[in-house]
Structure 1
Amino acid sequence: MLCRLTIRDFVLVDRLELEFQAGFGTLTGETGAGKSILVDALAFALGERADVSVVRVGQERAEVTAEFALDNSPAAAQWLVEHDLNTDGGLLLRRVVDANGRSRAYLNGSPVTVVQLREVAEGLVDIHGQHAHQSLMRGEAQRALLDSHARLDPLLTEVAAAWRDWRAARMMLDTATNGIEAWAVEREQLDWQARELEALGFSVDEWRMLNDEHKRLAHAASLVDGAQYSLQTLSDGDAACEAQVAAVANRLDALSEYDPALCEVAVLLQSAQAELAEAISALRRYGNRAELDPRRLAEVEQRIEAVLGCARKFRCKPEELPVLLARWHERLAVLGEAADVDALAERVAAARAHYEGLARRLSVSRSEAATALGREVSEVMQQLALGGGRFEVGLVAVDGGNASGLEQIEFRIAGLAGNESRSLAKVASGGELSRISLAIQVVTSQAARVPTLVFDEVDVGIGGGVAEVVGRLLRELGTERQVLCVTHLPQVAASANWQWQVSKIAEAGQVRSQVVALEGEARVEEIARMLGGIEITSITRQHAREMLRLSRAR
Structure 2
Amino acid sequence: MLRALEIRDMLIIDRLDLAFQPGLNVLTGETGAGKSILLDSLGFVLGWRGRAELVRQGAEQGEVVAVFELPKGHAAHAVLEEAGLPTGPELILRRINTLDGRKTSWINDRRCSGEVLRALSETLVELHGQHDDRGLLDPKGHRTLLDAFAGLAGQLDTVRGAWRHRARLMRQLAEAQAALDAVRAEEDFLRHAMEELDALDPQPGEEAELDTRRRMMQGAERIREDMARAHAILGPQGAEGAMGDGLRWLDGIADRAEGMLDAPLEALGRALNELAEAVQGIERAQDVMSFDPHELETVEERLFAIRALARKHDVLADDLGQFAEGLRDRLAALDRGDAELKTLKAELGRADAAYDAAALALTAARTEAAARLDRAVTAELAPLKMDRAVFRTVIEPSDPGPEGRDTVAFSVATNPGAPAGPLARIASGGELSRFLLALKVCLSDRDAGITMIFDEIDRGVGGATADAVGRRLAALATGGQVLVVTHSPQVAALGAHHWRVEKRVQAEMTTTTVVPLDAAARVDEIARMVAGDTITDEARGAARALLAGTV
TM-score range, shorter chain: 0.5 to 0.7
Q: Any conservation in 2 of the 1:52–1:99 contact (CA below 8 Å)?
A: no
Alpha-carbon displacement from aligned partner over 1:259-299 (angstroms, at most 9, x marks no partner): xxxxxxxxxxxxxxxxxxxxxxxxxxxxxxxxxxxxxxxxx
- TM-score computed with the length of structure 1 as normaliser: 0.64
Q: For the structure 1 residues 177 and 63, does the alpha-carbon distance in structure 2 shift closer, same or farther, using more than 3 Å as the test?
A: same
How much does 1:58 deviate?
Answer: 3.4
Matching residue's letter, 1:432: E
**How has the CA–CA distance of structure 1 residues 361 and 116 changed in structure 2, closer, same or farther, with 3 Å as cutoff?**
farther
**Which residue is 2:7 aligned to?**
7
Structure 1 residues 14-413: aligned runs within 5 Å: 14-49=14-49, 52-71=52-71, 74-77=74-77, 80=80, 86-87=86-87, 90-132=90-132, 139-152=139-152, 156=156, 159=159, 163=163, 166=166, 184-185=184-185, 341-398=341-398, 401-413=400-412
SS at match of 1:93: strand
Aligned to 2:469: 470
Alignment of 1:448-459 (within 5 A): 448-459=447-458
Cα distance between partner residues in 2 of 1:112 and 1:191 = 59
Distance change in 2, residues 1:509/1:334 (3 Å): farther
Three-state SS of the structure 2 residue aligned to 1:362 is: helix
Q: Once the 2 structures are TM-superposed, how far is the Cα of residue 486 of structure 1 from its aligned partner?
A: 0.6
Cα distance change of structure 1 residues 334 and 56 upon mapping to structure 2, 3 Å threshold: farther
- 1:335-390 C-alpha deviation (Å, 9 max, x unpaired): 99799653453354244224323322422332343233222211111110012444
> Share of identical aligned residues, percent?
38
Distance 1:184 1:123, change over 3 A: same
Distance 2:352 2:428 in 1: 43
2:127–2:134: 8 Å Cα contact kept in structure 1? Answer: no
AA matched with 1:345: K
Query: Match of 1:488, SS?
Result: coil
Kindly indicate whether residue 539 of structure 2 is the aligned counterpart of residue 543 of structure 1: no
Counterpart in the other structure of 1:211: none
State the secondary structure of the residue aligned to 2:59. coil
Q: Which has the larger radius of gyration?
A: 2
Aligned 8 A contact 2:48 2:118 in 1 = yes
Distance in 2 separating the partners of 1:139 and 1:52: 27
Say if 1:47 and 1:118, in contact at 8 Å, map to a contact too: yes
Distance (Å, rounded) in 1 between the aligned partners of 2:80 and 2:174: 46
Residue of structure 2 equivalent to 1:445:
444
Instruction: Tell me how far apart the structure 2 counterparts of residues 501 and 394 of structure 1 sit (CA, whole Å).
Output: 41
CA contact (8 A) 1:67 1:90 kept: yes
For residue 383 of structure 1, give the secondary structure of its aligned residue in structure 2. Answer: coil
Opposite residue 506 of structure 2, the aligned amino acid is E
For 1:526, the equivalent position in structure 2 comes to 525
Cα distance change of structure 1 residues 170 and 32 upon mapping to structure 2, 3 Å threshold: same
Q: Which residue in the other structure is 1:300 paired with?
A: none
Cα distance in 1 between the residues matched to 2:47 and 2:354: 37
- For 2:528 and 2:103, the matched residues in 1 are separated by 40
Q: Structure 1 residues 40, 161: closer, same or farther in 2, change over 3 A?
A: farther
Q: Distance in 2 between matches of 1:434 and 1:524?
A: 26
Q: CA deviation at 1:118?
A: 3.3
Alpha-carbon spacing, 1:56–1:337, altered in 2? closer, same or farther (3 Å)? farther
* Structure 2 CA distance for partners of 1:372 and 1:184, relative to 1, 3 Å: same
CA positional deviation for 1:96:
2.1
**Within 2, Cα distance between the matches of 1:389 and 1:137?**
17
Give the distance between the partners of 1:104 and 1:21, measured in 2 at CA. 28
Q: Determine if contact 1:51/1:97 at 8 Å carries over to the other structure.
A: no
Q: Distance in 1 between matches of 2:54 and 2:113?
A: 19
> How many aligned residue pairs are there?
422
Is the 2:173–2:341 contact (alpha carbons within 8 Å) kept by the matching residues of 1? yes
Contact 1:187–1:335 under 8 Å retained in 2: no
Post-superposition shift, 1:88?
A: 5.5
Q: Is the 8 A contact 1:414 1:422 kept in 2?
A: yes
Deviation at 1:66, TM superposition (A): 1.1
Number of the residue aligned with 2:492: 493
The one-letter code sitting in structure 2 at the alignment partner of 1:401 is P
Q: Which amino acid aligns with 2:37?
A: I
Shift of 1:516: 0.6
Amino acid at match of 2:70: L
Q: 1:379 and 1:159, CA in 2 relative to 1: closer, same or farther beyond 3 A? A: same
Q: Which stretch of the first structure deviates more once superposed, 474-483 or 503-512?
A: 503-512
CA displacement, residues 122-142 of structure 1 (integer Å, 9 cap, x when unaligned): 433322234248975664342
Q: Structure 1 341/14 Cα, relative in aligned 2: closer, same or farther at 3 Å?
A: same
Relative to 1, partners in 2 of residues 1:84 and 1:434: Cα closer, same or farther, differing over 3 Å?
closer
Q: 1:467 to 1:6 in 2, by over 3 A?
A: same
Deviations 1:45-92 (A, max 9, x none): 223235642222333322211112234763334655676655566221
The 8 Å contact of residues 176 and 338 in structure 1, kept in 2 or not, is answered as no
How many angstroms apart in 2 are the aligned matches of 1:442 and 1:346?
Answer: 48
Query: Partners of 1:189 and 1:384 in 2: how far apart?
Result: 80
**CA-CA distance at 1:33 after TM superposition:** 1.6
CA–CA distance in 2 between the matches of 1:516 and 1:191?
A: 89
